[in-house]
Structure 1
Amino acid sequence: MSLRPWRDIARRKSRQIMVGSVPVGGDAPITVQTMTNTLTSDAKATIDQIRRCEEAGADIIRVSCPDVESTAAFRQIAKAARVPLVADIHFHYKRALEAADAGAACLRINPGNIGSSERVAEVVRAAKANGCAIRIGVNAGSLEKDLLEKYGEPCPEALVESALDHIRLLEEHDFREYKVAVKASDAFLAVAAYQQLAEAVDCPLHLGITEAGGLIGGTVKSAIGIGSLLWFGVGDTIRVSLSAEPEEEVRVGYEILKTLGLRTRGVRVVSCPSCARQGFDVIRTVQALEDALQHIKTPMSLSVLGCVVNGPGEARETDIGITGGGNGKHMVYLSGITDHTIADAGMIAHIVGLVEAKAAEIEAGSAVSMDTLHGKAA
């Protein structure tokens, strides 16, 4: 279904770069990133976590490389990963050189923090030789001392000036395959900084509200900050920073993008908050369905409504719907049309089966469409 005019989001025009095989910026889909929290030197644990993030839908994954042991393990990790990896480097430029040689698709490094111009030149040479992009990551919590003295405190102008200083160092060495982030834990500060930076540069912007908090608080803060920017067309790639497992960051990222109509992946659940009218336990049912449907990658919609007040209306707008009824019998809707009833017993398994069947139907239809297209082209 196409977006209505009042829902259209006009994305900021940025130039496109490549992070491994993934395009970032331009007209490419907004990518969802996360970051591992295992010891990178433990290659097996890191690969296992990367695999879970890949299954959740991560497009790009960042991996810390703080020491030689980490960059030594990075080669094995990069070979095992199915998505491009960003090597997270802070102060030691040699870790960037090692990570680039070990298969990093992107280096997260602030050129101004690694020392002399020659060291920046070495990192740029390594990035060019290995086809690496670079992400400049400015953070309100680690602004340069001179900028804090100049502005007195972290502010949008300080974050933007820091970003422009780092950009200049890369462009002095004829390097333009970069994206930039200006993160802060204060959502207002981050949004203002990104808005200013978006007007000053044409590179892709990586969005994030850093140190956002736990799963609930961090999700809310990130949705407000990242969502506001995306709504105004700013942002080419996102990471939701949560004190939670990294695959949860990916899921929240997709929920933000799905809400704004910018990406579609998996089941979009429409459900009521429940009340005394509910014909079944909506809260527990939705929790069980969300857990049971995480493996579904095909975009579709599912409504779970506890009664018939709003249920039929919502069900007409979703692929599959269920509304609570009397005597333990609940109405099931398929493609917005009443189809059959289901009792409490086995209801969740039944709905999961319907969703899986619908996903197979959609995928088969997509395959037929592509076959028809190729046939016409031939």
Structure 2
Amino acid sequence: MSIRPWRDIQRRVSRKIRVGSVEVGGDAPISVQTMTNTLTSDAKATIEQVLACAEAGADIVRVSCPDEASTKAFREICRESPVPLVADIHFHYKRAIEAAEAGAACLRINPGNIGAPERVREVIRAAKDHGCSIRIGVNAGSLEKHLLEKYAEPCPEAMIESGLDHIRILEDNDFHEFKISVKASDVFLAAAAYQGLADVTDAPIHLGVTEAGGYVTGSIKSAIGLGNLLWMGIGDTLRVSLSADPVEEVKIGFEILKSLGLRHRGVNIISCPSCARQGFDVIATVAELEKRLEHIRTPMSLSIIGCVVNGPGEALMTDIGFTGGGAGSGMVYLAGRQDHKMGNERMIDHIVELVEKRAAEIEAAQAVAMKAAE
């Protein structure tokens, strides 16, 4: 039994598929995706963005393929990408076939606009021939006409029916390497659709609140919608949709997963909002530390608290902690214990050194353990 059952999340049981080298579903970690916003026909710019997203931690990157020039450039982009790429296809089924031939790990198709079933079958054939998986991407803003006539408006039932209709087409063609999403810009609609979908299929589920808005608004809507679904155990891969740099989508996606204990990457900074009791400038310090610790990928925790009200208690639960005191200095905690004092003027440099040292220790211990397991 867990010692903290109130933190346990029982993930929905789904079957496992592959998106290139990344496993999705089953017992695989929940993967983080994003999407490029460069012109795909500009291979150089798109490759640079894919590399930046991968460096930020993206497991999978989606690339829009709206025209033939894009699918031609897509071949080079696939060749240079360190992570699997999903080709985003709308309207033109031939672009999906071209993308599969160019090296796509997955084809994202929207049942509301891909066309007749026979066209979908051609896409399936291309996916089989080239080892691609498929994402069925249902979107409240582009539901099939007959479903809108049946239900009068986008609703969870319409979105689920759309998804199940498309699942049936794939399965009737003996294709099972697929995942599915039912996205909406309305958090309530998206959440209800995902909950209903989770009850009627064992396919891996791709989470997202689509067209969520700018950085702040979109992050909040995504955290509410995705966070609640993940807490319920629903979701095998996700994308945070922001009108912002795709790298920010990756960061927010990881932060959502880290807050629920579902993924761990880099330094988790626990910090107070600051007040008149603070012994140093908490806000400026945390902002600087976030920049200077971006290169750390090893999971670890760091508490930065302005005063002794909550500082010692938070430090008990973190790898490294700093609590503000008086006379221009504060207390450094290591593994929850008071270790030494440090002046505010050297505090940031000192914390960065401690984090880097601790990360190296963790990595060395992991390497030893892996070697012993061999």
TM-score w.r.t. the length of structure 2 is 0.98
Aligned 8 A contact 2:113 2:142 in 1? no
Matching of residue 349 in structure 1 with residue 340 in structure 2: no
2:86 match:
86
* Structure 1 residue ranges, 4+ long, deviating more than 6 angstroms after superposition: none
Aligned 8 A contact 1:112 1:166 in 2? no
Q: What is the percentage of aligned positions where both structures have the same residue?
A: 71
Could you say if the C-alpha distance between residues 40 and 164 of structure 1 is closer, same or farther in structure 2, counting changes exceeding 3 Å? Answer: same
Aligned 8 A contact 1:282 1:306 in 2? yes
Distance 2:112 2:140 in 1: 15
> Residue 57 of structure 1 aligns to which amino acid in structure 2?
G
2:134 match:
134
Distance 2:331 2:350 in 1: 12
Structure 1 window deviating more from structure 2 (30-39 vs 348-357): it is: 348-357
> Residue 42 of structure 1 aligns to which amino acid in structure 2?
D
Could you say if the C-alpha distance between residues 169 and 113 of structure 1 is closer, same or farther in structure 2, counting changes exceeding 3 Å? Answer: farther
2:247 match:
247
Aligned 8 A contact 1:111 1:169 in 2? no
Instruction: Measure how far apart 1:111 and its partner are.
Output: 4.5
Distance 1:112 1:168 in 2: 15
Matching of residue 237 in structure 1 with residue 237 in structure 2: yes
Aligned 8 A contact 1:31 1:60 in 2? yes
Instruction: Measure how far apart 1:353 and its partner are.
Output: 1.0
Distance 1:255 1:195 in 2: 22
1:61 match:
61
Instruction: Measure how far apart 1:171 and its partner are.
Output: 1.6
Distance 1:357 1:3 in 2: 30
Distance 1:196 1:361 in 2: 45
Gaps of 5+ in 2: none
2:37 match:
37
| Aligned pairs (5 A) from 1:1-378 | 4-111=4-111, 113-374=113-374
Instruction: Measure how far apart 1:166 and its partner are.
Output: 1.4
Distance 1:78 1:115 in 2: 26
Instruction: Measure how far apart 1:3 and its partner are.
Output: 6.6
> Residue 119 of structure 2 aligns to which amino acid in structure 1?
R
Residues 290-327 of structure 1 deviation map (CA, whole Å, 9 limit, x = unaligned)? 11111110000000000011101101110000000101
Instruction: Measure how far apart 1:339 and its partner are.
Output: 1.1
Distance 2:140 2:112 in 1: 15
Distance 2:3 2:293 in 1: 26
Gaps of 5+ in 1: none
Residues 37-91 of structure 1 deviation map (CA, whole Å, 9 limit, x = unaligned)? 0000111100101111001100000000000110000010001001100000011
Residues 5-63 of structure 1 deviation map (CA, whole Å, 9 limit, x = unaligned)? 11111111111111001110011100000000000011110010111100110000000
How large is the RMSD of aligned CA atoms in angstroms? 1.1
Distance 1:230 1:112 in 2: 26
Aligned 8 A contact 1:110 1:166 in 2? no
Could you say if the C-alpha distance between residues 187 and 111 of structure 1 is closer, same or farther in structure 2, counting changes exceeding 3 Å? Answer: closer
